[in-house]
Every structure is written in structure tokens, then in C-alpha cells.
């Protein structure tokens, strides 16, 4: 269906005629407002064809003006309504960017990578599968920052997560601030499944909000928090003086993460390697959606270039006619 976005533009159609009536004649010394030297020749045989020939430029100019006005009115093609998949879930991802996330204790395709790289690797597919969900992204270290508000634009969310760097938000870990920011962004979103997925490899060492107090506030607001503790267990590391056993996750505060999840009706997950992290995100896919009224949009395609091209063609034709008359 064709629609006109700016129909009021057609009000300027009589503008050339009004200008012709209001502006003074080209030669003020002449008594007549409009000189028509060919009037005396109208009665002569064979002169009517010449008169009609002289009227062609005026008709072309009028048609070109009509097409220009039509183009400026922004004609559009309005497509059929397209249904948007809406599940009713609002999901905010909170990802730790503290210095400890650079620990290289995760393996991807035979190569050891840091924890943030493994998180990005798994989260890419998780975000891509969130059709119908609104996704938000919080990055936190010493402070928590809202990187993207809730949006259906999954590609943008993934791009901003992929561009995140360790230490971008500071070296420490403000878990409570991240939860508090998530509550702030989700509390006013009305009914539905509102979920915060918090991934960290440490304990709360910075920030102004205690994690358990933030979790209590989230519970009162009806938010569910799923916590993920990331990092390998004890492992053997080769050094200059032989092999020694280390625990890369010694700073992980599992007790607090478990309490946060229990307090808000969520779950705590432990991801020791990439396979476990992938399994956790697949399990999170099973969050029950809340049915909502379907949303639709109608695609719009601009059509202004068609009348604009027609006007340009008529102007070129008018110029060619004028040039031909000068050569005769």
C-alpha cells in the first residue's frame, strides 16, 4: 500500500502561479503585464501548430514541478504487518572484567585462553539464541557500567561484549554494585520473566553495595539471579623448579554466589572448563517464557526517487528543447 508521509507538501503546488501573479513584469516600462507578440499571428493559416509548439515547454515545466512536489511529499510503500517474536523475558548479562579474568585456565580448540575469552566464546551462541528476549549488558570491575540497555538488537549486545577488555572497569570486583545496577534497569519493566545472569571469578572486593543486600532488594522486586562462578580447580603447573599444584579459583566466593541465587529463586553454577560453561548456558535457555501480546511492525520502503527521477528527465528534456530552439 502506498502512503504519503508529508501530504501537506502538496500545498505548495500553486506556488509558481502565485509568484507569477505577485511579481512585477520582467520589463516594468511596458504597460502590459504579459507580452504576447504572437497574438497577431493567431489568425494566420498554419500558425496554430507553431503556437502549440511554444506551449510544450510550459507543459513540461509544470509536469516537472508536479513531480518535484510529489517527491518532497515522501511517498512510501507500506508493507504487510510482520509479527515480532516476543517471549516476555528481560535478561541482563553481568560480566566480570576484573584483573583475575586474565587467568588462562580455559581451553578452546586445543589452546589455553583467559576466562574472559572463554566467556565471550560461549556467550556468543547464548545471545544469538535469545530471539524474542530483550537483552542488556552490564560490565563490572571496581565499578559497574551499563553497556547496553534492554534491547532486541542481539548483534549490538554481542559486539559490545566482544569489544570488552580486562581491566576496562578496574582491577577489583564490585559484585554488589553490578546486582544493584541490574535491579535498577529491570525493576520498572513490569510483569514478565526478569533475569540477571552474573558471571564472576572472584569475591566482592570493591563497590558501595553489599552483594547480599543487593540480592535482598532484587528478591523484593521479583528478579531472579543466576550466578556463575568461573575458574578451574586445582591444577598442575610446570615451572623452573618442577611441577607444582595451584588453585586458580582460590579467590572465588562460592558461598556468597550461592546465597545470592538462593535468595532470589535462582541457581548457582560452577564452570570449571569450557564444556561446563556451555552446559550452563544451555540450561539457562530453558527459562520459562511469559506469553505476551504479539508485537508487529510494517516495513516501509521509500519511493520518492521515482518522481524525482521523472522530474530530472523532464528538466533535461526541457533544456534540450530550449537549446534546439536557439539553433533554429
Mean pLDDT of the chain: 82
Residue ranges of domains in the chain: 2-23+43-79+298-327, 85-284
- Name the pLDDT band for 50 (thresholds 50, 70, 90): low
Residue with cell 528543447: 321
CA distance 166 to 154: 22
Residue 194 has pLDDT above 70, yes or no: yes
Q: Residue 293's pLDDT is what?
A: 54
Q: What's the burial of 12, exposed, middle or buried (CB within 10 Å: 0-12/13-18/19+)? A: middle
* pLDDT at 43 > cutoff 50: no
pLDDT tens for each residue of 241-258: 556 555 556 678 899 999
Side-chain half-sphere CA neighbours of 44 within 13 A:
9
CATH tag, 85-284? 3.40.50.410
Cβ burial, residue 278 (10 Å; 0-12/13-18/19+): middle
Per-residue model confidence as pLDDT tens digits over 103-159:
888 888 888 899 899 999 999 988 988 877 889 999 999 999 999 999 989 999 999
Looking from the CA of 274 toward its CB, the CA atoms found within 13 Å total: 19
Closest CA to 146 of 132, 157, 154, 155: 157
Amino acid at each position: 500500500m502506498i502512503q504519503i508521509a508529508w501530504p501537506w507538501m502538496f500545498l505548495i503546488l500553486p506556488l509558481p502561479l502565485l509568484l507569477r501573479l505577485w511579481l512585477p513584469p520582467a520589463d516594468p516600462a511596458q504597460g502590459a503585464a504579459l507580452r504576447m507578440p504572437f497574438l497577431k499571428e493567431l489568425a494566420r493559416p498554419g500558425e496554430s501548430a507553431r503556437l502549440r509548439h511554444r506551449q510544450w515547454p510550459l507543459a513540461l515545466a509544470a509536469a516537472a514541478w508536479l513531480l518535484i512536489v510529489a517527491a518532497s511529499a515522501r511517498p512510501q510503500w507500506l508493507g504487510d504487518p510482520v509479527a515480532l517474536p516476543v517471549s516476555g523475558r528481560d535478561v541482563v548479562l553481568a560480566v566480570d572484567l576484573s584483573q583475575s579474568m586474565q587467568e588462562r585456565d580455559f581451553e578452546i580448540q586445543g589452546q589455553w585462553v583467559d576466562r574472559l575469552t572463554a566467556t565471550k566464546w560461549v556467550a556468543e551462541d547464548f545471545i544469538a539464541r535469545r530471539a524474542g528476549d530483550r537483552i542488556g549488558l552490564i560490565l563490572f570491575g571496581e565499578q559497574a557500567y551499563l553497556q547496553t540497555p534492554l534491547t532486541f538488537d542481539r548483534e549490538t549486545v554481542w559486539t559490545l561484549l566482544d569489544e570488552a577488555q580486562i581491566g576496562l572497569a578496574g582491577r577489583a570486583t564490585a559484585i554488589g554494585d553490578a546486582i544493584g545496577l541490574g535491579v535498577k534497569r529491570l525493576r520498572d519493566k513490569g510483569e514478565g520473566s526478569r533475569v540477571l545472569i552474573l558471571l564472576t571469578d572472584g569475591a566482592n572486593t570493591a563497590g558501595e553495595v553489599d552483594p547480599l543486600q543487593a540480592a535482598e532488594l532484587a528478591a523484593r522486586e521479583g528478579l531472579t539471579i543466576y550466578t556463575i562462578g568461573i575458574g578451574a580447580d586445582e591444577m598442575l603447573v610446570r615451572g623452573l623448579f618442577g611441577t607444582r599444584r595451584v588453585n586458580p579459583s582460590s579467590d572465588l566466593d562460592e558461598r556468597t554466589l550461592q546465597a545470592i541465587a538462593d535468595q532470589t529463586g535462582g541457581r548457582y553454577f560452577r564452570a570449571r572448563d569450557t564444556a561446563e560453561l556451555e552446559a550452563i548456558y544451555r540450561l539457562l535457555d530453558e527459562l520459562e517464557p511469559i506469553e505476551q501480546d504479539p508485537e508487529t511492525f510494517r516495513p516501509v520502503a521509500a519511493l520518492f526517487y521515482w518522481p524525482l527521477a521523472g522530474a530530472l528527465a523532464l528538466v533535461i528534456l526541457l533544456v534540450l528543447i530550449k537549446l534546439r530552439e536557439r539553433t533554429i
